[in-house]
Structure 1
């Protein structure tokens, strides 16, 4: 769940041709594609203008087979409760998959090699088919060689629509991510071991939708649904808006019970935020989305008011309908310890997430896969339909966005902050924080639990939960 300031809580384009050049206002100000029941995707490579100056070679991406000239992964739209199918054909020189981040779907469709499905090897295809039970903003990415494949571009947005949702004057999807590029615009090493043992290795070029500070147009005085996904492998964003006000209507794909004013919102890798932005009344006025972390503020996107003033009001915004959710029985819930810690540096073993050759991090003091009698055993075995409380304790001085596949949980208490009553799949746990996460084990299968700072994931802070 994205982290919100205490004050906030108290207040209750796409790529052009093969080069990734932004299309500006028309690409995202209105829905770029209707919800679809099926799509054919190719994992492929190409060249893209990522830093605004140089053509970067060796970009990795998912592209629609019928729109092969569009290099940035498409924003996929589907409908809540309707079956969606996607055929993935692998044109890369290495295996890959698709994980549908945040979707509570059949375990066979979760996209984790060897745990839920085989690799999709070069030239092969895999058919994904599922019915999304939740409306909201999600995303998709591989679970193979993740640091390289995600770091080079394989992160796309996914929107599940609910026809009953309020209609807004524009719907803008923003994919926030960094690139590790040298001065010539070419990829450099994806990680440094010393940084992987701390906060992670940051990118050198900060962008949104594969552009540097893209510009979007929206109606003056209109209400804009702004969907944000932090799909970076490392960066944690501290976001604020200048030039307009906005309401938070959903966190990590799940509606909040009552919309509240957006001020400073922290988004870690894997997390999502839905805002309703009220555009300025004056044509030509600009709204800036600014990242203030870690030091010098940086504008990541701009929104320009245009046309006749629609005179819409934030007071017109209603809460989104909640997604289906079974409240856990807190009194009868079984306690599950989850201790996040550092570990002595050792050579790591390979696992379903691959290896960087190091072991820096651990869950329950064991790096994955651990030096135990069965290093590939699940972290915990849960009974289908039973309630559990994960007692998550961060013993490190670093932030960790902890993501659970296949199920949602509710944050019920924290030792360091007031937390909103929200359902989520990714929680950004603070340094030295103890937090309780409650859930009903309602989806059978083996479900990965890991830190979504990919260097942390691949150097020990990962495991899986078994539900039977």
Structure 2
């Protein structure tokens, strides 16, 4: 592994440098990595007019690959930074060791241009996850750096095919080239929407599937901003998992709201007739938009959704609600103050948002104080209060939590890592603080995150 550069040594304190040197940056290189990623520039055709210049991917020649891991099996992922700027990689939704979480300065130093970092972890949970940079986050994600990560169950649930769908927008002009990635007035509101909707870097892709077969669609919303409502039309389909965790009972695959960072696993029964088509829709007030089509091919396999085995529950600890401590968090406007300081990991130059009246100053060396400190092994109820007229998907790294209640709607008892707070909603969620470390806690509308709506929670023994 490469060591710390002189620039990073000058930025960090001696104690911080020692801590990082003893942790992730000195990860073992004895075992060959199962996966290799090389963050690279490329030109790629999203629209037919012309290849989009200046895109970024985790490979030099196409869209980010789907990474497939096995539940309970250790993996190693070697990440090389072939960009001309710093980066890091976060494994969204995975409960892993803190030093492997990919958050600059909080868990590791940014990976400098030309350097590599080896991530090693054992995923305890199966399901659909995704990966993305956590440094220069807005621009790098906007240029393409989002990939789907699948952790397969120990036992095959019985699908004929597994199809990950990376759902995201790009901000492109009519010539197929990038336009401004955000507007400040939108960052202070709901966020800046993309102009071109894609699935796996394609507009309106068509997937040929065996007629009458059972397909696991893995929807991962890796967008910067869009909170969307999705549906499957033209076929039998059921939602079987949300945010990597199996549902106690399948739900109809319609009117499914997913925010940036959220995922849904859908069991699709492909139509029986040759060339019959099912569709993935983005439901909008102006009319439904077809995101992808699934076309039946060949003689029907005549499968039935009832043949599928229930997905096993992930080993997430159950909170002791009777003895849980309540921690309050207010998501709101930023108090008056200075703009965030520039850092190697970029800044939008504005401070619009805060958690508990504290605006995150940007990804740079601290030390910073946690928003709260939790004791290892203890149960907590996090009371999340949104005092704004905008929705905020709140994501917590390294831990999973259970939805309890809301002042605006009835919540299912789902286990998740990303909860969508509606405007002026107060939501209680519960967790066991079972994973030690400093864990990022932020809105996954990236413009909100990068303009103050971020912080971290500490779990200590």
TM-score of the aligned structures, taking structure 2 as reference length:
0.89
> Quick one: distance in 2 between partners of 1:222 and 1:37?
35
Aligned to 1:116: 107
Q: Residue 48 of structure 2: which of 42, 46, 52 is its match?
A: 52
- TM-aligned CA distance change 1:414 to 1:318, over 3 Å: farther
Q: What CA deviation, in whole Å up to 9, does each residue of 1:231-271 have, x standing for no partner?
A: 01011111011101211111001111222222210110000
Aligned to 1:75: 66
Q: Residue 242 of structure 2: which of 222, 236, 251 is its match?
A: 251
Aligned to 2:129: 138
Classify the secondary structure of the residue corresponding to 1:359.
coil
Q: Is 1:404 the counterpart of 2:400 in the alignment?
A: no
> Quick one: distance in 1 between partners of 2:422 and 2:440?
21
Aligned to 1:288: 279
Q: Is 1:103 the counterpart of 2:99 in the alignment?
A: no
What is the Cα deviation at residue 165 of structure 1?
Answer: 3.2
Classify the secondary structure of the residue corresponding to 1:331.
helix
> Quick one: distance in 2 between partners of 1:304 and 1:37?
37
- TM-aligned CA distance change 1:323 to 1:352, over 3 Å: farther
> Quick one: distance in 2 between partners of 1:181 and 1:349?
28
> Quick one: distance in 1 between partners of 2:115 and 2:309?
46
- TM-aligned CA distance change 1:271 to 1:294, over 3 Å: farther
Q: Is 1:234 the counterpart of 2:222 in the alignment?
A: no
Classify the secondary structure of the residue corresponding to 2:157.
coil
User: What is the Cα-based RMSD across aligned positions, in Å?
Assistant: 1.6
Tell me if structure 1 keeps the 8 A contact 2:335–2:358: no
> Quick one: distance in 1 between partners of 2:33 and 2:412?
34
What is the Cα deviation at residue 352 of structure 1?
Answer: 8.6
What is the Cα deviation at residue 133 of structure 1?
Answer: 0.4
What is the Cα deviation at residue 315 of structure 1?
Answer: 2.2
Aligned to 1:422: 414
Tell me if structure 2 keeps the 8 A contact 1:45–1:60: yes
Q: What CA deviation, in whole Å up to 9, does each residue of 1:1-39 have, x standing for no partner?
A: xxxxxxxxxxxxxxxxxxxxxxxxxxxxxxxxxxx9711
Tell me if structure 2 keeps the 8 A contact 1:165–1:320: no
Q: Residue 434 of structure 1: which of 403, 426, 429 is its match?
A: 426
Q: Is 1:443 the counterpart of 2:435 in the alignment?
A: yes
> Quick one: distance in 1 between partners of 2:88 and 2:153?
27
Q: Is 1:217 the counterpart of 2:208 in the alignment?
A: yes
What is the Cα deviation at residue 190 of structure 1?
Answer: 0.8
What is the Cα deviation at residue 52 of structure 1?
Answer: 2.9
- TM-aligned CA distance change 1:80 to 1:152, over 3 Å: same
Aligned to 1:8: none
> Quick one: distance in 2 between partners of 1:394 and 1:37?
42
What is the Cα deviation at residue 295 of structure 1?
Answer: 3.1
Q: Is 1:357 the counterpart of 2:353 in the alignment?
A: no
What is the Cα deviation at residue 296 of structure 1?
Answer: 3.0
What is the Cα deviation at residue 389 of structure 1?
Answer: 0.3
Aligned to 2:15: none
Aligned to 2:458: 466
Aligned to 1:88: 79
> Quick one: distance in 2 between partners of 1:248 and 1:414?
22
TM-score of the aligned structures, taking structure 1 as reference length:
0.88
Aligned to 1:16: none
> Quick one: distance in 2 between partners of 1:138 and 1:410?
17
What is the Cα deviation at residue 365 of structure 1?
Answer: 2.0
Across the two proteins, how many residue pairs are aligned to each other? Answer: 425
Q: Is 1:185 the counterpart of 2:181 in the alignment?
A: no
